[in-house]
Amino acid sequence: MSHRKRSMRVMRILVLGLDIISEDPKRFAVVSWFNGKLEKKGEFTLYRLIRFIRAKRPDIVAMDSVTELGNDLRKFLRALPEGTKLVQVTGRPGEQRSLWSLAREHGIRIGDKFDPYEEAKVCALLAAKGVGYEVLAFEDEVIITVTRGRSQGKGGWSQDRYRRRVYSLVQAKVREIEETLRRADIPFDLETEERDRGVARGEFKVYASREELAGLVRPMRGGDVEVRIRPVERKVLEFVPLRVERAIEERRSIIIGLDPGITVGIAAVDLDGNVVAVYSEKNMALSEIVRFISELGHPIIIATDVNPPPGLVEKMARSFKAQLFVPRESLKVEEKNELLRSLGITVEDDHQRDALAAAYKAYLRYKPKFEHIEARLKELGLWKKRNEIKALVLSGYNLGEAIMKVKMAERPKEDVKEKHEPEVDVTPYLERIRELERTIEILERENAELRSLVEKQRKRIERLEEMLREFDEKVRAKIIREKEIQARDRRIAQLEEKLREAREMVEKLSRDLALTKRMRLMELRGKVIPVKVIENLTWKEIEELEGNVGIKKGDVLYVLNPAGAGRSIGEHLAAKRIKALITVKELPVPVYEALRERKIPVLLEGEIEVKRVDEFAVVERNALEEAVRRKLEEWAEEEKERELESVLRVIEEYKVERIKELIRRVEEGR
């Protein structure tokens, strides 16, 4: 497919063209372009225009100059829905071109230049062709804040427990978001405020746009945990070209080497291999990096010296729509120094060295292709356009398409030159000019009459808009009431669900209470002894048990999972002089030995029956006393056996030594 055919391909997007009609109040003419069809949408106030844009969610909102929005520009940009671009079709500030000259250049028919709808139409058509610069109000950075969602109230042990629970939930949500960002390979920084063994607040600084986070992290309101997502506004508006090839035509093409970190290193090399700039700065913001690179030229390649590439380098490549160069393996220090020696350049620090080595390594990778292009261009006499053609080839064009594009851009200038070379009789043209001047006078009078009529119609429209505004207020009040009713209905449904859960909990607690009362009655009668339950035999749960109900002399402990406990825990429990310890699984040897040394019985769950309700458990007194007695007798027997074995071992050793002594004396007597 030729380049001409590709450039004429229709983009299936919705574009809104705007032009201002009046300043006070602001009113705009709106024309839409979709799938090759133009449609006049009418006149809108700023408030209605924003509502219309949020409802239709266009891909592009195009204007000839965003300054027409005045002080409302930032407000307008904040109100745009995700995925909608504000485009200034006439170029970036200081480099703007006439709207009508752009229309003629792109073959767009022009009607009445004084008609706002005509200007809006031309803006929409130019933007649909990829002409213009996107206005960026936000950094490619997002702040995600995770905090508790509701107040805990005043005092009390239950409030402290609830607060710890909420901080634990905040910590879990922070870890969940952190893991999500890592899986998506999105770079970020995280600051947390730790409290009560949890997290009171977590703040992520994410180096990605709000659109990139869509579907990954969602805001949360109204529960125990709140998640707020806020894009970071730029201090200065940025203007980025819609199409890469326009940037190639208008600005110098360069290869950028980037070394991210606390100190950022940036280096630029042109497409002839010449060093353009080497720079480094500490704590450089993302927008400052973009601005610095944009001032140097248009990056065709963003290069790094490490593999895999850092997330920030990938982000910059996507932002500039540039190719990402990654070496097959991370460059070694010796290779970087050799690259700088071949350039004959010294740098101030390692960050500048790494950035320049990455940029020059990328240039060397593409140098054979550049030399082939240069050889071909010398034959065609296009040597002066070599860098522009190189940039187009790196952007995806083949060599033939790139050459054709450059020639097409040069052709109008040649045609104009050829038209002025032959001598022409200008008399008919002078007569035509006089006729046109008379026509202009007539049209100016008609224009004055029409302006008067327009003014009358404008006043009528203002009255109708006031009536419409009042109607809108009534409709909005009705919608708000309906939303409040819907919110109330949802709240009732939530409360009913909570009531159902509470009733189920009450039933369970009633059953547990009945069983607990029976156990308590048996305890009061002296038939059972209460047991204190520990889920995991760790310092944390021991401290919680001591803080809540205490561990004192004569207590019986029931351990569900003793794995991982050490001797110090056994010694601590022995020092408390507990009566016995019942365990579901075998105790670790160090813990068992520490308790055995202090004659504190250790019973397996199979040796005695434990009756448990949640955190409360009991054992029969007689069964416990019998089990304790048996265990102590068992240990005493084992102790006697060990002592007997020790005595026998001493006697045996004495016999051996005595025999050796007798043999020695006999040998000496000989």
Architecture of domain 9-131: 2-Layer Sandwich (3.30)
E runs forming strands in 283-377: 298-303, 323-325
Average pLDDT value for residue range 187-201: 85
* Mean pLDDT, rounded, for 80-86: 86
Rounded to a whole number of angstroms, the CA Rg of the chain reads 41
| For range 444-462, the mean pLDDT | 83
Q: pLDDT band for position 422 (50/70/90)?
A: very low
Beta strands in 451-491 (DSSP E): none
Residue 182 pLDDT > 80:
yes
CB atoms under 10 Å from CB of 148, counted, come to: 19
Average pLDDT score over the chain: 82
pLDDT at residue 560 tops 80: yes
Question: Who's near 101: CB < 8 A, 6+ residues apart?
Answer: none
pLDDT for 124? 92
Shared fold status for 9-131 and 252-393: yes
pLDDT of residue 518: 64
**Distance of alpha carbon 214 from the chain centroid:** 9
In this prediction, residue 255 carries a pLDDT of 92
Question: For residues 161, 162, 165 and 170, what is the CA-based torsion angle, rounded to 10 degrees?
Answer: -140
Per DSSP (E only), the strands in 109-252 are: 133-148, 188-195, 198-206, 225-241
Residue 153 has pLDDT above 60, yes or no: no
Greater model confidence, 528 or 203: 203
pLDDT on residue 424: 47
**Which of 557 and 670 is assigned the larger pLDDT?**
557
Give dist(CA 219, CA 578) in Å, integer. Answer: 51
Token look-up 């792109």 returns 106
pLDDT average, residue stretch 466-481: 84
Report the CATH number of the 526-651 domain.
Answer: 3.40.1390
- State mean pLDDT over 548-576: 87
What pLDDT shows up at residue 409?
A: 62
The arithmetic mean of pLDDT across residues 213-219, rounded, is 80
Whether residue 668 has pLDDT greater than 90: no
- The predicted pLDDT at position 53 comes to 93
In this prediction, residues 230-255 reach a mean pLDDT of: 71
pLDDT at residue 523, as a whole number: 59
Q: Looking at residues 313-328, what average pLDDT do you find?
A: 86
The residues, ordered by sequence, that sit 6+ positions from 230 with a Cβ below 8 Å of its Cβ are 142, 143, 145
Give percent above pLDDT 90 in the chain.
17
pLDDT at residue 8 greater than cutoff 80:
no
Residue 604 is given by DSSP the state E
pLDDT band at 654 (very low <50, low <70, confident <90, very high): confident
pLDDT at 458: 85
Q: What is the pLDDT of residue 88?
A: 94
User: Is 140-153+164-236 assigned to CATH 3.10.20?
Assistant: no
Q: What integer is the mean pLDDT of 327-356?
A: 89
The DSSP code for 305 is S
What is the Cα–Cα distance from 100 to 118, expressed in whole angstroms? Answer: 11
Most confident segment among 40-54, 436-450, 472-486: 40-54
For residues 48 and 62, the answer to whether their CB atoms sit within 8 Å is no
User: What are the Cα distances from residue 310, in Å, to 259, 326, 435, 549?
Assistant: 9, 10, 68, 53
Q: Does the pLDDT of residue 352 top 90, yes or no?
A: yes
Average pLDDT over every residue of 380-395: 74
Q: Which CATH number fits domain 252-393: 3.30.56.10, 3.30.420.10, 3.90.960.10, 3.40.50.720?
A: 3.30.420.10
pLDDT, tens digit (0-9, with 9 covering 90-100), for 160-181: 777 888 888 999 999 999 998 8
Give the pLDDT score at 86: 93
Q: What are phi and psi of 306, to 5 degrees?
A: -125, 155
Q: Say if residue 503 is exposed, middle or buried (CB neighbours under 10 Å; 0-12, 13-18, 19+).
A: exposed
Q: What is the DSSP letter of 663?
A: H
Domain ranges in the chain? 9-131, 140-153+164-236, 252-393, 440-525, 526-651
The reported pLDDT for the residue numbered 655 is 83
- For the question of whether the overall pTM of this predicted structure is more than 0.85, the answer is no
At a CB cut-off of 8 Å and minimum separation 6, what does 301 contact? 255, 256, 322, 323, 324, 325, 362, 366, 394
pLDDT of residue 631: 87
User: pLDDT digit string (tens) for 574-600?
Assistant: 898 998 999 988 889 898 888 888 889
